[in-house]
Amino acid sequence: MKASPWQLVVAHYRTLRDRRTDESRWQDYVLFLLFPALVYAGFCVLRVRLPEGAAAGLLTAAGVLSAFFFGVMLAVAQRSLDWADTRPPRGKDTAWQADFLTEIAANAGYAGLVSIAVAAVLVSVLVTSGEAAVLLSCLALALSLHLALMLGMVLARIYAITANRLVKAKADGPTGTVTPLRDRDAV
């Protein structure tokens, strides 16, 4: 299988599904795609241009984020390899954990790609002037918003899943039954 960044994009957007119905949620596409597009258009109308210092600061942050997400991908890959080597028993819990690791890898990989795109656009902002710098500034801000919204969703999902699994672990323990929280796909 040939590796392609497009696979990360497709895999990430596959995670935007309701766990109960396995259907895509139109609200997610409005929040993560349409809203940043509208912000981009609004900034273009207002002719927003990032000052060089702000662009350089955002470029640094985007670079650090892309390196961080690369590290997350490596950590998830190592966890997956180690876990697969234990030959876990087939079943619902094993499938759930495999899906969780796949989704975290997809989200981290996509976030890394968006971070790289933001960095590339910000470099372009720093080396252009005039109308091109305005359009690129607006694009950098819209992509940054898209990244922030997506990371907020992933953080909320990870928290909900973690809380649910810990409640389940407590319920399976010697203290009795606890009603678990519901896993959620999005904020």
Give the model confidence (pLDDT) of 139-152 as tens digits.
999 999 999 999 99
Range of the domain at 66: 5-156
Q: What is the pLDDT of residues 114-142, one digit of tens each?
A: 999 999 999 999 999 999 999 999 999 99
pLDDT of residue 173: 62
CB atoms within 10 A of CB 92: 7
pLDDT of 178 reads 47
DSSP state letter for 1: -
Q: Is residue 113 part of a domain?
A: yes
In a domain, 22, yes or no: yes
Cβ–Cβ under 8 Å, residues 99 and 183? no
With a cut of 70, which residues of the chain have pLDDT below it? 1, 172-187
Whole-number average pLDDT of the chain: 88
- What is the pTM for the complete model shown? 0.83
Contacts of the segment 171-174: beta carbons below 8 A, 24+ positions apart: none
Q: Is residue 41 part of a domain?
A: yes
**Does any domain span residue 91?**
yes
Q: Residue 113 in contact with residue 8, Cβ under 8 Å?
A: yes
Number of domains in the chain: 1
Domain assignment present for 33 = yes
Is residue 66, in this structure, part of any structural domain at all?
Answer: yes
Residue 167 lies in a domain: no
Q: Which pLDDT belongs to residue 182? A: 53
Residue 93 resides in a domain: yes
Helix (H, G, I), strand (E, B) or coil at 173: coil
Q: How far is CA 119 from CA 3, 78, 113, 148, in A?
A: 22, 27, 10, 14
